[in-house]
Amino acid sequence: MTRFLSRLHKACRRTMNLFAVMGVAILALDPTLYGHPLYQGIQSLSIAPIYLLYALYLGLGFALSEGVFPFLVDSAIDLVFFAPMLFFTSGGVHPAHILCVRQFIHYFNRHLQSSTLSNFAQSISERPARLIAFSFAGIILIGAFLLVLPVSVAAGHQPSFLTALFTSTSAVCVTGLIVVDTPTYFTLFGQLVIMGLIQVGGLGIMTLSAGAAFLIGKRLGMTERAVLQNVLDATDLNALRDTLRNILQWTLVIEATGALILAIRFWTVLDCPFFTALYFGVFHAVSAFCNAGFALFTDSLMKFTGDPVVNLTIMGLVVTGGLGFSVLSAINGFLHGGKGFRHDVHSQMAITVTIVLIVGGTLMILALELPGPAMKDLPWGERLLAAVFASVTARTAGFNTIDYAVMTPGALFFTILLMFVGASPGSTGGGIKTTTAGTMLLALDAEMKGRSAVVVLERTIPPVIVLRAFLITAISGALVAGCTFVLVVTDDFPLLNLLFEVVSAFATVGLSTGITAALSSAGQVVLIFLMFIGRIGPLTWALSIRSTPGAGHVRYPATRLMVG
């Protein structure tokens, strides 16, 4: 009898795999076949079998277990997470979607618990980049299933797993691209989930968890410590502890200050209750400091185009979040009389490139938009403010006070260049980073002048850093080109608009010409992929998937090769 039940239990699991595949198929076919009677009938008929199959699977698991407690332990994820989701989302989201993620997590967990666990742990320790990628992927998945719940979706709107996945990815990767109107599609609960995902994604799940661990006196594992020291550029455990404390303090102080200023201004301008204005202030302060670009107004911040308080506050939050915490710490030390800032090459380069991009971007956008409709009706004071805001927000923030759908092609293309560079390393922003662009320019200058070393501020940049800068840019350019080609094939929009969307997603900016929601399912999946790669970094992604280097150091003879 036990043998029969075991075989039946395995058959149930395999059948659940088929329904999980059906969940993936629904994601792909929904935009095309939604509303077709036959397609809707197949979806409706498959709901009851999934519930019965899942209940049978749990019942057989209980029958095969050695008791109640072992069953509760073995089925904890099902009983605590997936079973309630299947029950509470009845009529809101197709259960095949939930089953799809359930099966993925089940088999991934089995893989970890198998004999390959030690090998997997070793691969993580050898390539910490995998830990970063897995942490972001995990929080994106959790966020997607929170956002697909009926409690997250406003009345009158149909929950969609692809919409939830896109929104969760955009929030965790602090991008700001949207396929639905955030203030009308999501309930207050859904908006709070998005704000939480932005905060976690902006600071990094590992940074937050490690900071909490230090606060309660918990020790970090060797792998976590190695990853964080590499990410935060900390030399030892004490430096890591100080860096984490500074990050949390900077975040709290800057976001709280920005939230208070915005709340008072919204309360005055919008004529709404103070607690509503306070909520608006907190949400936009978190979104701006984390360079996310999510807004609770349908037109983003276009109603505040000429408002200096809102504009300057948002820009201040965006710039401080985009500089990076190490630069903020260096500035803080300089303001308090410290002398280490003079020798901090990274901070000085990041600040210099940021200023050049903001000033140069402002002048170029202002000049390119003189004949354009985006700003022609604005007074010169508001036009200048809008140009500065556009230059700042193009570097991974995603808010807009002008309509990018009507911008001139020249201004759009120049914005693409600003987005591609992005923010500074160690910040909440994306792009190839300011110091990467600065290093490449210095290397090109040194090459043209015949110098063997790349020098900045009387310091030599190591060749490995120069090579990494060009490698990051090359990988990024290849990703942008390849994904743009895919969108050209799958979606019928002008090339410049598609390139704008691709770079905006890769650089985690969030600006759009208004075509994001109109992209096909394949196009939206491409943007999801780009947002994820852009947040963890193209080099981190490459390191996380590369094979383990082989043993030995074989050297081959040099050859001549004509290039250029």
Residues 6 or more apart whose CB falls under 8 angstroms from that of 497 comprise 513, 515
Q: Which of 114, 136, 168 is the last residue of a domain?
A: 114
- 422 lies in a domain? yes
Q: Indicate whether 90 and 237 sit together in one domain.
A: no
Cα–Cα distance, 156 to 368 (Å, whole number): 42
Of the chain, the end-to-end C-alpha distance in Å amounts to: 74
Cα–Cα distance, 35 to 29 (Å, whole number): 11
Q: How far is CA 340 from CA 246, 327, 337, 457, 552, in A?
A: 17, 12, 9, 14, 42
Q: Indicate whether 99 and 246 sit together in one domain.
A: no
Q: What is the pLDDT of residue 219?
A: 56
State the pTM of this model: 0.76
Q: Which of 93, 114, 135 is the last residue of a domain?
A: 114
Q: With contact defined as beta carbons under 8 Å apart, do 432 and 422 qualify?
A: yes
- 9 lies in a domain? yes
- 153 lies in a domain? no
Q: Indicate whether 93 and 220 sit together in one domain.
A: no
Q: Which of 114, 138, 168 is the last residue of a domain?
A: 114
From first to last of the 564 residues of the chain, give the pLDDT tens digit.
Answer: 778 888 888 888 888 888 888 877 776 676 667 677 887 788 888 888 888 888 888 888 888 888 887 787 777 777 766 777 676 555 556 788 777 777 777 766 665 555 444 444 444 444 556 666 777 887 888 888 788 877 788 888 888 888 999 999 999 888 889 999 999 999 888 898 899 899 888 776 545 545 554 544 555 555 555 555 555 555 555 665 666 677 777 888 899 999 999 999 999 998 889 999 999 999 999 999 988 889 999 888 899 988 999 999 999 999 988 887 778 777 877 777 766 667 778 888 989 999 999 999 999 999 998 878 888 888 888 999 999 999 999 887 888 999 998 899 999 999 999 999 988 887 777 888 899 999 999 999 888 888 888 888 878 888 888 888 898 899 899 999 999 999 999 999 999 999 999 999 999 898 999 899 899 888 999 999 999 888 877 666 655 555 555 555 677 887 767 766
Residue 437: Cβ within 10 Å count: 21
Q: What is the pLDDT of residue 263?
A: 94
Q: Indicate whether 110 and 211 sit together in one domain.
A: no
Q: Locate tokens 């936009």: which residue?
A: 284
Q: Locate tokens 């090359």: which residue?
A: 474
Range of the domain at 77: 1-114
Q: Report helix, strand or coil for 418.
A: helix
- Helices 117-126/129-147 angle, 10° precision: 110
- 165 lies in a domain? no
Q: Give the chain's count of helices (H) and strands (E).
A: 25, 2
Q: Indicate whether 218 and 109 sit together in one domain.
A: no
Q: What is the pLDDT of residue 489?
A: 92
- 164 lies in a domain? no
Kindly tell me the burial class for residue 277, based on how many C-beta atoms sit within 10 Å of its own C-beta (0-12, 13-18, 19 or more).
buried
Is residue 265 within a helix (H) or strand (E), and if so which, with residue range?
helix 237-270
Residue 118: Cβ within 10 Å count: 8
Q: Indicate whether 83 and 229 sit together in one domain.
A: no
Cα 66 to chain centroid distance, Å, stands at: 44
Q: Indicate whether 103 and 222 sit together in one domain.
A: no
Q: Indicate whether 269 and 378 sit together in one domain.
A: yes
Q: What is the pLDDT of residue 457?
A: 80
- 57 lies in a domain? yes
- 562 lies in a domain? no
Q: Indicate whether 386 and 533 sit together in one domain.
A: yes
Instruction: Output the six-digit token pair for 268.
Output: 């005055």
β-pair partners for 186: 153
Number of domains in the chain: 2
Cα–Cα distance, 154 to 190 (Å, whole number): 9
Rg (the chain; Cα; Å)? 25
- 234 lies in a domain? yes
Q: What is the pLDDT of residue 365?
A: 92
